[in-house]
Chains A and B, each alone.
Chain A
Amino acid sequence: MRPMDLIQMKVGQVGTVVEIQGGHGLIRRLQALGIRVGVRVIKVSSQIMRGPVTVQIGNARVAIGFGMARKIIVRA
Chain B
Amino acid sequence: MKKILLMGNPNVGKSVIFSRLTGVFVVASNYPGTTVEFVKGSMVFRGEKAELLDVPGTYTLRPTTKAEEVACEMLEEGDLVIDVVDATNLERNLNLTLELIECGVPMVVVLNMWDETKHRGITIDVERLEEYLGVPVVCTCGVTGEGIKKLVSRLEEAKPTVAKKRTSEGKWAEIGRIVRETQSLVHHHHTFAEILGDASVRPIFGLLMAGVIIYLAFKVVRFIGEWLVGLTESLFDSLWAPLMMKLSSLLGSGGFLHNILIGELLEGQIDFGQSFGLLTTGLFVPFAMVLPYVFSFYLILGLLEDSGYLPRLAVLVDNVTHRVGLHGFSSISMILGLGCNIPGALATRVLETKRERFIAVTLMAICVPCMAQIAMIIGLVGARGGGYLAAVFGPLFIVWGALGVVLNRILKGESMELFMEIPPYRFLYWGALVRKLGMRIRQFITTAIPLVLLGVLIVNILYTLRVIEFVGRITAPIVTGLLGLPKDVVSALIIGFLRKDVAVGMLAPLGLTSGQLVVACVVLTMYFPCVGTFAILLRELGIKDMLKSAGIMIISAMLVGGLLNLIFR
The answer to whether residues A68 and B91 also contact, given A48-B203, A51-B318, A61-B197 and a CB cut-off of 8 A, is no
B371-428 contacts to A, CB under 8 A, are 416-424
Q: In the complex the two chains form, what is the Cα distance from A30 to B60 in whole Å?
A: 11
Does B316 lie at the interface of the complex (its beta carbon under 8 Å from any beta carbon of A)? Answer: yes
Q: Which residues of A contact B269 (CB under 8 A)?
A: none
Contact partner of B419 (CB less than 8 A), chosen from A11, A29, A36, A48, is A29
Q: Which residues of B contact A65 (CB under 8 A)?
A: 318, 322, 327, 416-419
The answer to whether residues A52 and B418 also contact, given A36-B172, A47-B318 and a CB cut-off of 8 A, is yes
Residue contact B319 to A64, C-beta cutoff 8 Å: no
Q: Which residues of A contact B62 (CB under 8 A)?
A: 28
Contact partner of A51 (CB less than 8 A), chosen from B88, B319, B423, is B319
Q: Which residues of B contact A68 (CB under 8 A)?
A: 417, 419
Output the residue of B59, B327, B418 with the most chain A CB within 10 A. B418
For A57, the closest partner residue in chain B by CB is: B92
Residue contact A61 to B421, C-beta cutoff 8 Å: yes
Does B229 lie at the interface of the complex (its beta carbon under 8 Å from any beta carbon of A)? Answer: no
Q: Which residues of B contact A44 (CB under 8 A)?
A: 198, 201
Does B13 lie at the interface of the complex (its beta carbon under 8 Å from any beta carbon of A)? Answer: no
Residue contact A51 to B92, C-beta cutoff 8 Å: no
Q: Which residues of B contact A54 (CB under 8 A)?
A: 198, 201, 315, 422
Does B328 lie at the interface of the complex (its beta carbon under 8 Å from any beta carbon of A)? Answer: yes
Residue contact A45 to B201, C-beta cutoff 8 Å: yes
CB distance from B56 to the nearest CB of A (A): 14
Q: Which residues of A contact B144 (CB under 8 A)?
A: none
Does A31 lie at the interface of the complex (its beta carbon under 8 Å from any beta carbon of B)? Answer: yes
CB distance from B5 to the nearest CB of A (A): 19
Residue contact B59 to A60, C-beta cutoff 8 Å: no
Does A49 lie at the interface of the complex (its beta carbon under 8 Å from any beta carbon of B)? Answer: yes
**Residues 32-66 of chain A, each 1 if its beta carbon lies under 8 Å from chain B, else 0:** 11101000000011111111101001111111111
CB distance from A53 to the nearest CB of B (A): 9
The answer to whether residues A60 and B315 also contact, given A32-B95, A33-B92, A44-B201 and a CB cut-off of 8 A, is no
Residue contact B88 to A63, C-beta cutoff 8 Å: no
Residue contact A60 to B417, C-beta cutoff 8 Å: no
Output the residue of B62, B91, B201, B316 with the most chain A CB within 10 A. B201
Q: In the complex the two chains form, what is the Cα distance from A73 to B319 in whole Å?
A: 22
CB distance from B565 to the nearest CB of A (A): 36
For B59, the closest partner residue in chain A by CB is: A32
Residue contact A61 to B89, C-beta cutoff 8 Å: no
Q: In the complex the two chains form, what is the Cα distance from A46 to B203 in whole Å?
A: 7
CB distance from A12 to the nearest CB of B (A): 10
Residue contact A60 to B198, C-beta cutoff 8 Å: no
Residue contact A63 to B92, C-beta cutoff 8 Å: no
For A34, the closest partner residue in chain B by CB is: B92
Contact partner of B92 (CB less than 8 A), chosen from A45, A46, A52, A58, is A58
Q: Which residues of B contact A30 (CB under 8 A)?
A: 419
Residue contact A60 to B92, C-beta cutoff 8 Å: yes
CB distance from A29 to the nearest CB of B (A): 6
For A62, the closest partner residue in chain B by CB is: B421
Residue contact A29 to B64, C-beta cutoff 8 Å: yes
Q: In the complex the two chains form, what is the Cα distance from A50 to B198 in whole Å?
A: 18
Contact partner of B418 (CB less than 8 A), chosen from A31, A60, A64, is A64
Q: Which residues of B contact A64 (CB under 8 A)?
A: 417-419
Q: In the complex the two chains form, what is the Cα distance from A29 to B421 in whole Å?
A: 12
Does B49 lie at the interface of the complex (its beta carbon under 8 Å from any beta carbon of A)? Answer: no
Q: In the complex the two chains form, what is the Cα distance from A31 to B88 in whole Å?
A: 18
For B328, the closest partner residue in chain A by CB is: A52
Contact partner of A47 (CB less than 8 A), chosen from B89, B172, B315, B327, is B315
The answer to whether residues A63 and B419 also contact, given A32-B59, A47-B203, A58-B92 and a CB cut-off of 8 A, is yes
CB distance from B504 to the nearest CB of A (A): 37
Residue contact B91 to A58, C-beta cutoff 8 Å: yes
Q: Which residues of A contact B168 (CB under 8 A)?
A: 31
Q: Which residues of A contact B319 (CB under 8 A)?
A: 47-52, 66
Q: Which residues of A contact B60 (CB under 8 A)?
A: 28, 31-32
For B88, the closest partner residue in chain A by CB is: A59
CB distance from B161 to the nearest CB of A (A): 22
Q: Which residues of A contact B202 (CB under 8 A)?
A: 11, 45
**Residues 4-38 of chain A, each 1 if its beta carbon lies under 8 Å from chain B, else 0:** 00000001000000000000000011111110100
CB distance from B8 to the nearest CB of A (A): 13
Does B120 lie at the interface of the complex (its beta carbon under 8 Å from any beta carbon of A)? Answer: yes
Q: In the complex the two chains form, what is the Cα distance from A67 to B322 in whole Å?
A: 11
B44-89 contacts to A, CB under 8 A, are 59-60, 62, 64, 88-89
Q: In the complex the two chains form, what is the Cα distance from A49 to B207 in whole Å?
A: 13
For B117, the closest partner residue in chain A by CB is: A59
The answer to whether residues A66 and B203 also contact, given A34-B92, A52-B315 and a CB cut-off of 8 A, is no
Residue contact B420 to A62, C-beta cutoff 8 Å: yes
**Residues 157-169 of chain B, each 1 if its beta carbon lies under 8 Å from chain A, else 0:** 0000000000010
CB distance from A65 to the nearest CB of B (A): 3
For A46, the closest partner residue in chain B by CB is: B203
Q: List 29 A-B contacts (CB under 8 A).
A: A28-B60, A31-B172, A34-B91, A44-B198, A47-B201, A47-B318, A47-B319, A48-B319, A49-B319, A51-B319, A52-B328, A52-B418, A54-B201, A58-B92, A59-B122, A61-B198, A62-B419, A63-B314, A63-B315, A63-B318, A63-B418, A63-B419, A63-B422, A64-B417, A65-B318, A65-B322, A65-B419, A68-B417, A68-B419
Given contacts A59-B120, A60-B92, A65-B419, 19 further A-B contacts (CB under 8 A): A28-B60, A28-B64, A31-B60, A31-B168, A46-B203, A47-B315, A52-B318, A54-B198, A54-B422, A61-B198, A61-B421, A61-B423, A62-B422, A63-B311, A63-B315, A64-B419, A65-B318, A65-B416, A66-B417
- Name B's A-contacting residues (CB within 8 A): 59-60, 62, 64, 88-89, 91-92, 95, 120, 122, 168, 172, 197-198, 201-203, 206, 311, 314-316, 318-320, 322, 327-328, 416-424
- Name A's B-contacting residues (CB within 8 A): 11, 28-34, 36, 44-52, 54, 57-68
